[in-house]
């Protein structure tokens, strides 16, 4: 097996600069301000030294997939950045995650919402949540189907310690990002439809979609949050279950 080297600190900084430029150009093509796009560094398996380097270069949002790993990094990095939980979240990890994550982007079921609400309530916090949508209808991926999103939002709107702030999607991985465009378009349509729901604790502002190989297409189609790992921090060692 070929093992690709982890990029140097200098490379991480250069990568981040390039990614920011590409985000800005994609925003401009879509007739939007670059500052409207929230760039999240997806840092699963990335060490604290490299995350710190990116923070020094102005990265202010971090997305993590595994609760324990994220917590260990939080203890070293603290509130210098905004923490997002972007991976599949087990109900029994909600208690830990609400301690330091402002956003949970992978809300995909009522039982998880109940637990997040309860645990956030115990800390007197409100957690900003995005509903994860399985836009490709893939068996291997988490997320609710597009027709179930509204119902879940209505149920979650009853919870005082959760605020629904948007939708998140991980479309199918297709080698040519142009092939992903139709999925992004469908997400945008859903987002526009749900934006007008007039519910308490619901303010659908963020459309989180686009990763290293397709974020420009996602922004062109209306994403205002992108989650980028490899293009900034280099390749990761493969981990089973990733993307769930």
Ligand X SMILES: *Cc1c(COP(=O)(O)O)cnc(C)c1O
Q: Which residue has the tokens 């007739």?
A: 31
Residue 228 CB, shortest distance to ligand X, in Å, is 5
Instruction: Please check whether residue 157 is in contact with residue 168, taking contact to mean a CB–CB distance below 8 angstroms.
Output: no
**Residue with the shortest CB distance to ligand X:** 229
Identify the residue whose tokens are 């309530």: 121
- Beta-carbon contacts of 40 under 8 Å, excluding residues fewer than 6 positions away, are 61, 62, 63, 84, 86, 208, 225, 226, 227, 228
| CA gap 231, 233 in Å, rounded | 6
Q: Check residue 101 for interaction with ligand X (CB under 6 A).
A: no
* One residue of 50, 52, 87, 143 binding ligand X per CB under 6 A: 87
CB of 200 to ligand X, least distance (A): 28
In the bound state with ligand X, the residue whose beta carbon lies nearer, of 134 and 161, is 134
Cα(222)–Cα(30) distance, integer angstroms = 8
CB of 44 to ligand X, least distance (A): 6
Beta bridge partners of 64: 85
Q: Is 65 in the site for ligand X (CB under 6 A)?
A: yes
Q: Which of 39, 42, 67, 104 lies at the binding interface for ligand X (CB under 6 A)?
A: 42
Q: Buried (b) or exposed (e) across 188-200, using 16+ Cβ within 10 A?
A: bebbeebeeeeee
In the stretch 203-232, what mask flags binding to ligand X with x, by CB under 6 A?
A: --------xx--------------xxxxx-
Please pick, from the candidates 13, 22, 32, 44, the single residue that binds ligand X as defined by CB under 6 A. 44
Residues 169-208 that bind ligand X (CB under 6 A): 170
Q: How many residues bind ligand X (CB under 6 A)?
A: 14
Q: Which residues bind ligand X (CB under 6 A)?
A: 42, 44, 65, 86-87, 170, 211-212, 227-231, 243
């Amino acid at each position: 097996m070929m093992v690709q080297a982890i990029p140097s600190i200098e490379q991480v900084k250069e990568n981040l600069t390039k990614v920011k430029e590409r985000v800005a150009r994609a925003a401009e093509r879509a007739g939007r301000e670059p500052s409207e796009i929230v760039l999240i560094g997806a840092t699963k398996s990335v060490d604290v030294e490299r995350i710190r380097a990116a923070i020094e270069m102005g990265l202010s949002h971090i997305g993590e997939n595994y609760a324990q790993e994220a917590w260990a990094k939080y203890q070293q990095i603290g509130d210098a950045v905004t923490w997002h939980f972007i991976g599949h979240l087990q109900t029994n990890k909600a208690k830990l995650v609400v301690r330091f994550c402002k956003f949970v982007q992978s809300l995909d079921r009522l039982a998880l919402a109940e637990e997040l609400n309860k645990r956030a309530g115990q800390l007197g916090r409100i957690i900003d949540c995005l509903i994860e949508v399985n836009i490709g209808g893939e068996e291997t991926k988490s997320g609710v189907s597009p027709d179930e999103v509204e119902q879940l939002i209505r149920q979650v709107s009853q919870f005082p310690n959760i605020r629904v702030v948007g939708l998140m999607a991980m479309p199918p991985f297709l080698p040519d990002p142009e092939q992903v465009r139709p999925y992004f378009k469908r997400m945008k349509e859903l987002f526009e439809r749900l934006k007008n729901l007039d519910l308490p604790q619901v303010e659908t502002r963020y459309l989180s979609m686009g990763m290293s190989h397709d974020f420009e297409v996602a922004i062109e189609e209306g994403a205002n949050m992108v989650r980028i790992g490899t293009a900034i921090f280099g390749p990761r060692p493969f981990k089973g279950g990733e993307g769930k």
